[in-house]
């Protein structure tokens, strides 16, 4: 791999400050989704290695939590700075293992680093309370203390940002952490951990274990030492991990699947709506949890909007992420391409009309598609597509649009375009989602609370709320006479 600093490319786990192989020497191959070539291996670690990582995090906890918040903040700031210094190498690693265009990978590194900066600042504002006591002999106080040893299990689609969005608040609060990255994208996580070491974050504060996901997950959820699990991934796996965590009563944060509606009302600025949808639908080749999954267009503007949108989609450049002109990279694997193709075929079998794209290319590539005449009986209405397919649904009234948009068990992100102030408030309050973009197709930023409701999960990441999941609130009742 063409890196300026080749030492950032790690093929071992990081446990207690040591770079180690799996106990049995077994490894997993990591491939480049654009070419299928093997770019390296990582340890296929399991239960025993995870237990040692948890133990290392436990041993590192007392010193790290006792550090003044200002010192923890300074370490996070140094980590942030190093990520930006090595942004190009981190982006190249990400594009090689995940496939996204280099420009998007560079953007993700900046996005990831922003969480380290944000929580470096939040670390020094973990305030408690002094409560006026009804009894003059007593003094009532509230203090915030770190939860303790945490664990993070992260997905392949944002291999750096999802780690920073968890490790940032955890370390800021004084916690230590064991990270299991997605099996498809371990190198981004390992490089981030290397930079954390260079930032002076002590051994054992951050540990990264790659390999047998179910075994690693079980070791994490079974351990009473791990007091919090933060998971980002599919809803089925999130529910499994949540149930596994019940026996040890862990705090859990769940950032799960989505099924985002994107509503274009007749009074919308259609050009701006097209621009917003291009981002909301095709970012990361449609492989984001907040991607527009169902596009609802009001009857009177449907044809004009569809024509403008399809023209932009047909012009998208598909190719490997390392090429400068690539706008849409490969999907993560053949299974992902199969899923999109199945939804395309189902839509056309049920009366949908393919307006453009939908062609499978060699490898994991697929041309971005637009389906017209989509209906709620289609798979693409109920299932998260997680690929470059845009089904257009018609609607007549505002009430119908809201009913259709809310007709899902998911509740992560939703988007709508209008220039009517009353409609803005009515629709924003009626949509059953954790995040709503109004005349905006890309809502994520470290300053704002990211998360969903219903089957899209629990908790919020980023913002002033994001650190709450990593602290315990302790009440002190003090009799002073
Ligand atoms: N809400 C969000 O912020 C968010 C962000 C990114 C992805 N996602 C969701 O994630 C899904 C796609 O990502 P994915 O394919 O990596 O999801 P996934 O659930 O298959 O995997 C996510 C992580 O869980 C691990 N995992 C899988 N089975 C496990 C088990 N039995 N025990 C322990 N760990 C296990 C994987 O190795 C990976 O690290 C989509 O549904 C997407 O919507 C949500
Ligand atoms: O897919 C998951 C990410 O959280 C999407 S975003 O980059 O935060 O919008």
Q: Read out DSSP for 237-291?
A: HHHHHHHHHGGGT-EEEEE----EEEEE-TTS-HHHHHHHHHHHHHGGGG-STTS
Beta strand 129-131 with 353-356 is: unpaired
Expressed in angstroms and rounded, the spacing between residue 266 Cα and the centre of ligand 2 is: 29
pLDDT at residue 1 in the model: 83
Q: Is the beta carbon of 97 within 6 A of some atom in ligand 1?
A: no
CA 457 to ligand 1 centroid distance, Å: 12
Q: Does residue 25 fall inside a structural domain?
A: yes
pLDDT digits (tens, 9 = 90+) for 278-319: 999 999 999 999 999 999 999 999 999 999 999 999 999 999
Ligand 1 pocket: which of 50, 181, 219, 234 to mutate (most atoms within 8 A of CB): 234
SS3 6: helix
Alpha helices in 315-452 (DSSP H): 334-349, 379-382, 398-406, 421-430
Atom of ligand 1 nearest to the CA of 181: 39
Regarding whether 421 and 353 lie in a shared domain, the answer is: yes
Ligand 1, closest atom to CA 217?
A: 33
Whether residue 130 sits in one domain with residue 33? yes
What CATH number is attached to the domain comprising 28?
A: 3.40.605.10
Top mutation candidate among 155, 166, 180, 409 for ligand 1, by most atoms within 8 Å of CB: 155
Q: Tell whether 299 is covered by a domain.
A: yes
* Phi, psi for residue 360 in degrees, rounded to 5: -80, 130
| Cα 454 to ligand 1 centre (Å) | 17
The residue ranges of the chain whose pLDDT is under 50 are none
- Please report, for the domain that includes residue 360, its CATH number: 3.40.309.10
Q: How far, in Å, CA of 428 to CA of 445, rounded?
A: 19
Ligand 2: nearest atom to the Cα of 413:
9
**One domain, residues 202 and 327:** no
Structure tokens that stand for 362 in this block: 């060699």
CB of 214 closer than 6 A to ligand 1? yes
285 with 432, same domain: the answer is: yes
What was the pLDDT predicted at 70? 98
Q: What is the Å distance from ligand 1's center to 8 Cα?
A: 25
Q: Are residues 53 and 17 in the same domain?
A: yes
Residue 434 domain-assigned (yes or no): yes
Domain count, the chain: 2
Query: What distance, in Å, lies between the first and last C-alpha atoms of the chain?
Result: 69
Q: Is residue 240 part of a domain?
A: yes
Domain that holds residue 172: 6-256+456-477
d(CA 207, CA 14) in angstroms, rounded, equals 5
- The answer as to whether 95 is a domain residue is yes
Residue closest via CA to ligand 1's atom 7 equals 233
Longest distance between any two alpha carbons in the chain, whole Å: 80
Whether 156 is covered by a domain: the verdict is yes
pLDDT given for residue 481 in this prediction: 84
Nearest by Cα to 353 from 399, 292, 401, 302: 302
Judgement on whether residues 216 and 278 belong to the same structural domain of the protein: no
Q: Are residues 399 and 469 in the same domain?
A: no
Does residue 451 fall inside a structural domain?
A: no
Residues 192 and 66 in one domain: yes
Pocket test for ligand 2, best of 157, 290, 293 (most atoms within 8 A of CB): 290
Residue 139 domain flag: yes
Whether residues 311 and 423 share a domain: the answer is: yes
**250/277 same-domain check:** no
88 and 222 in one domain? yes
Residue 389 bridge partners (DSSP): 369
Residues 42, 73 within the same domain: yes
The catalytic site residues sit at 255
The atom of ligand 1 lying closest to the CA of 457 is 1
Residues with CB under 6 A from ligand 2: 157-158, 161, 288-290, 444, 450
């Amino acid at each position: 791999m063409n890196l300026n600093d080749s030492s950032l490319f790690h093929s071992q786990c990081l446990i207690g400050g040591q770079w180690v192989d799996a106990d049995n020497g077994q490894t997993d191959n990591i491939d480049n989704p654009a070419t299928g070539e093997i770019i390296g291996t990582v340890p296929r670690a399991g239960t025993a290695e995870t237990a040692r990582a948890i133990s290392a995090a436990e041993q590192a906890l007392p010193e790290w939590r006792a550090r003044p918040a200002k010192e923890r903040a300074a370490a996070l700031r140094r980590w942030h700075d190093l990520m930006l210094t090595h942004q190009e190498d981190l982006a190249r690693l990400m594009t090689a293992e995940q496939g996204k265009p280099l420009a998007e990978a560079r953007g993700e590194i900046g996005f990831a680093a922003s969480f380290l900066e944000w929580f470096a600042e939040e670390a020094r504002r973990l305030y408690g309370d002094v409560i006026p006591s009804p009894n003059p002999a007593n003094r009532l106080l509230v203090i915030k203390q770190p939860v303790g040893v945490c664990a993070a299990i992260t997905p392949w689609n944002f291999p750096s940002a999802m780690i920073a969005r968890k490790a940032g608040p955890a370390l800021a609060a004084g916690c230590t952490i064991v990270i299991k990255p997605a099996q498809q994208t371990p190198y981004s996580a390992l490089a981030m951990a290397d930079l954390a070491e260079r930032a002076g974050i002590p051994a054992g504060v951050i540990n990264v274990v790659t390999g047998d996901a179910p075994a690693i997950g079980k070791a994490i959820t079974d351990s009473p030492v791990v007091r919090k699990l933060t998971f980002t991934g599919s809803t089925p796996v999130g529910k499994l991990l949540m149930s596994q965590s019940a026996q040890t009563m862990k705090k859990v944060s769940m950032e799960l699947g989505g099924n985002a509606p994107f509503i274009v009302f007749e009074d919308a600025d259609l050009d701006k709506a097209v621009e917003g949808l291009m981002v909301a639908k095709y970012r990361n080749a449609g492989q984001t949890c907040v991607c527009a999954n169902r596009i609802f267009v009001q009857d009177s503007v449907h044809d004009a909007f569809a024509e403008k949108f399809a023209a932009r989609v047909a012009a998208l450049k598909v190719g490997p992420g390392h090429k400068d002109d690539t706008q849409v990279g490969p999907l993560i694997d053949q299974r992902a391409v199969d899923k999109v193709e199945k939804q395309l075929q189902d839509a056309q079998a049920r009366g949908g009309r393919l307006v453009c794209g939908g062609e499978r290319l060699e490898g994991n590539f697929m041309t971005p598609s637009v389906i017209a005449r989509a209906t709620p009986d289609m798979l693409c209405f109920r299932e998260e597509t997680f690929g470059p397919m845009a089904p257009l649904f018609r609607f007549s009234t505002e009430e119908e649009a809201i009913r259709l948009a809310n007709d899902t068990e998911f509740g992560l992100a939703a988007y709508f375009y209008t220039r009517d102030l009353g409609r803005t408030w009515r629709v924003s309050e009626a949509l059953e989602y954790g995040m709503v973009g109004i005349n905006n197709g890309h809502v994520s930023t470290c300053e704002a609370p990211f998360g969903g409701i219903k089957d899209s999960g629990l908790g919020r990441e980023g913002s002033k709320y994001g650190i709450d999941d990593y602290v315990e609130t302790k009440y002190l009742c003090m009799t002073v006479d």
